[in-house]
Chains A and B, each alone.
Chain A
């Protein structure tokens, strides 16, 4: 049976340094959240990463996932934003 997708956008912003992508994706994998698309840029020295994920396979609640990711972000000294894709769809697409 097809599980209904629940698309969640994960955005990471911070000073560029080695290991950010590795640390973030490991935490996402630990929660069994599936990464579907990745876009990453270095803007001047700012590391900007955006991932489209499917949350429907997750092994935890949305709130728990947010706090797990927050902990990892603090260790990596970056900012992480985890938002349902609807908020971007409503603002940027007709």
Chain B
């Protein structure tokens, strides 16, 4: 027999018991051919192109789920940053593009469409300005559209005008979606060193260096890693790393198979597989649970950053060999409300926003799905974004903020966003003001890339 019964049962129980799934197949679509000075004409072209290119994404994903017995949880689309198109608009709004994308996503059964984005690490163009001014409206009048803005990079430094503007937009989006606990902010990411081939929402967009259309795959397997570490107390670090690498290889390999086959069936080139561990609110599908199995009493205690660094590195080492092309954000995600274990650690007083920030130095991708008090001043939000961006800029990695200042809520309150976005405690933020610093204007200059200390 080609496989042993044990091997077959291992694969089956990874899905059935340990919640392994392909988190997303994301179809990237270049929208430059839709350019038009009339935003409504452009929106019509965008709708037509997205529906045409991604027409079969959902049916093919469903076929593959059956063929391999592996769930594909999300089917998504990413597009060229809409700010590229907005520069030509006579009317200074990009909201009709968001509406067209939302309509296309609903028509196709796509879960999320991302790329209502701008890249402003060094400066803000007219198109960027139009996009930034449209974000809050776009996120509130659509359901499935996600937005991201890149405000810094290791090459360019940090655009602090962009940081401050994004803090204002985060506040505005929260207020405008007050009836849904600021849900619009769950669809908005502020990046430093954003990548062009990320399949994960909300920060996905189709980079200008990509092809006409591309398929990227993101996997998810914290539950499988957790199961593998269940009886690991006797292992030393080398052995622990080996266990994680092997599991990571297997789950990434499944993503590779699904990506190759989807690419063949759709006739769209396979871009990358994101070597990721993406938690869900489901019990056991948690990065925090893995860290605690590694020997921490509670996630957030001293030692957490080291444990996460090792986990993140082992996941990549195992995954890289399994993937023909690795890319995207590649790393363990720590979205707070989406990870029930993280929420428990916060409620136990073990994990705070300062420790989370430290953790983002060694994993993917930043302060993600962090609910903060609704009355947090714009300046403090700008300070949080700037700190995260600085970590990314100096360490040559992607960092991000997906902050939700929940209107009317205080630290310790519990907010429920529903579904994969989960529920969790509102976290306390620092009380002292960085106002003078964040309002200085201009850019933090690009850092020195030598003398690494």
Residue-wise, chain A 66-94 has the 8 Å CB interface mask toward B (1 for contact) of: 10000000000000011111111111100
> B431 in the interface, Cβ–Cβ < 8 Å?
no
Q: Which of A48, A62, A66 contacts B9 (CB 8 A)?
A: A48
Whether the pair B66, A63 counts as a contact (CB closer than 8 A) is yes
Instruction: Of the listed stretches B37-45, B251-259, B299-307, B365-373, name the one at the interface; the rest are far from the partner chain.
Output: B251-259
> B449 in the interface, Cβ–Cβ < 8 Å?
no
Whether the pair A88, B3 counts as a contact (CB closer than 8 A) is yes
Contacts of B8 in A (CB 8 A): 9, 11, 50, 88
Instruction: With A66-B66, A82-B69 as known contacts, state yes or no: A87 contacts B11, CB within 8 Å.
Output: yes
Instruction: With A90-B254, A91-B253, A91-B254 as known contacts, state yes or no: A37 contacts B69, CB within 8 Å.
Output: no
8 A Cβ contacts from B46-76 to A: 66-70
Residue of A nearest to B68 (CB): A87
Compute how far the CA of A7 lies from the CA of B256 in the bound complex, rounded to whole angstroms. Answer: 19
> B7 in the interface, Cβ–Cβ < 8 Å?
yes
Smallest CB separation, B21 vs chain A (Å): 13
Whether the pair B5, A83 counts as a contact (CB closer than 8 A) is no
Residue of A nearest to B251 (CB): A91
Residue-wise, chain B 7-21 has the 8 Å CB interface mask toward A (1 for contact) of: 111111000000000
Q: Which of B1, B11, B254 contacts A52 (CB 8 A)?
A: B1
Residue tally, chain A, CB below 8 Å to B? 25
Compute how far the CA of A85 lies from the CA of B256 in the bound complex, rounded to whole angstroms. Answer: 15
Compute how far the CA of A86 lies from the CA of B4 in the bound complex, rounded to whole angstroms. Answer: 14
Whether the pair A84, B253 counts as a contact (CB closer than 8 A) is no
Q: Which of A37, A52, A63, A90 contacts B257 (CB 8 A)?
A: A90
Contacts of B9 in A (CB 8 A): 11, 13, 48
Smallest CB separation, B319 vs chain A (Å): 13
Compute how far the CA of A90 lies from the CA of B256 in the bound complex, rounded to whole angstroms. Answer: 8
Whether the pair B254, A87 counts as a contact (CB closer than 8 A) is yes
> A44 in the interface, Cβ–Cβ < 8 Å?
no
> A17 in the interface, Cβ–Cβ < 8 Å?
no
Contacts of B3 in A (CB 8 A): 9, 50, 85, 88-89, 92
Smallest CB separation, B62 vs chain A (Å): 9
Contacts of A7 in B (CB 8 A): 2
Compute how far the CA of A62 lies from the CA of B66 in the bound complex, rounded to whole angstroms. Answer: 9
> A39 in the interface, Cβ–Cβ < 8 Å?
yes
Contacts of B68 in A (CB 8 A): 83-84, 86-87
Residue tally, chain B, CB below 8 Å to A? 22
> A26 in the interface, Cβ–Cβ < 8 Å?
no
Instruction: With A37-B2, A50-B1 as known contacts, state yes or no: A91 contacts B11, CB within 8 Å.
Output: yes
Residue of A nearest to B250 (CB): A91
Instruction: With A9-B8, A37-B1, A50-B5 as known contacts, state yes or no: A87 contacts B257, CB within 8 Å.
Output: yes
Whether the pair B257, A88 counts as a contact (CB closer than 8 A) is no
Contacts of B11 in A (CB 8 A): 83, 87-88, 91-92
Whether the pair A48, B254 counts as a contact (CB closer than 8 A) is no
Residue of B nearest to A51 (CB): B1
8 A Cβ contacts from A47-63 to B: 48, 50, 52, 62-63
Smallest CB separation, B382 vs chain A (Å): 46
Whether the pair A48, B1 counts as a contact (CB closer than 8 A) is no
Contacts of A85 in B (CB 8 A): 2-3
Compute how far the CA of A91 lies from the CA of B253 in the bound complex, rounded to whole angstroms. Answer: 6
Contacts of B1 in A (CB 8 A): 37, 39, 50, 52
Whether the pair B67, A52 counts as a contact (CB closer than 8 A) is no
Compute how far the CA of A33 lies from the CA of B77 in the bound complex, rounded to whole angstroms. Answer: 37
Whether the pair B12, A81 counts as a contact (CB closer than 8 A) is yes
Compute how far the CA of A7 lies from the CA of B68 in the bound complex, rounded to whole angstroms. Answer: 12
Compute how far the CA of A63 lies from the CA of B201 in the bound complex, rounded to whole angstroms. Answer: 30
Contacts of A83 in B (CB 8 A): 11, 67-69
Contacts of A87 in B (CB 8 A): 11, 68-70, 254, 257
Whether the pair B67, A62 counts as a contact (CB closer than 8 A) is yes
Compute how far the CA of A7 lies from the CA of B2 in the bound complex, rounded to whole angstroms. Answer: 11
Smallest CB separation, A69 vs chain B (Å): 12
Smallest CB separation, A49 vs chain B (Å): 8
Compute how far the CA of A88 lies from the CA of B7 in the bound complex, rounded to whole angstroms. Answer: 8
Residue-wise, chain A 3-22 has the 8 Å CB interface mask toward B (1 for contact) of: 00001010101000000000
Smallest CB separation, A92 vs chain B (Å): 5
Q: Which of A62, A63, A84 has the most chain B CB atoms closer than 10 A to its own CB?
A: A84
Compute how far the CA of A26 lies from the CA of B67 in the bound complex, rounded to whole angstroms. Answer: 22
* A residues whose Cβ falls under 8 Å from a Cβ of B: 7, 9, 11, 13, 37, 39, 41, 48, 50, 52, 62-63, 66, 81-92
- Contacts A9-B3, A48-B9, A88-B8 supplied; 13 other A-B pairs, CB < 8 Å: A9-B8, A37-B1, A39-B1, A50-B1, A52-B2, A66-B66, A81-B12, A81-B69, A83-B11, A83-B68, A84-B67, A87-B70, A92-B11
Of all A-B residue pairs in the complex, the 7 with the closest CB atoms, nearest first, are A83-B69, A87-B68, A90-B257, A90-B253, A91-B250, A92-B7, A84-B67
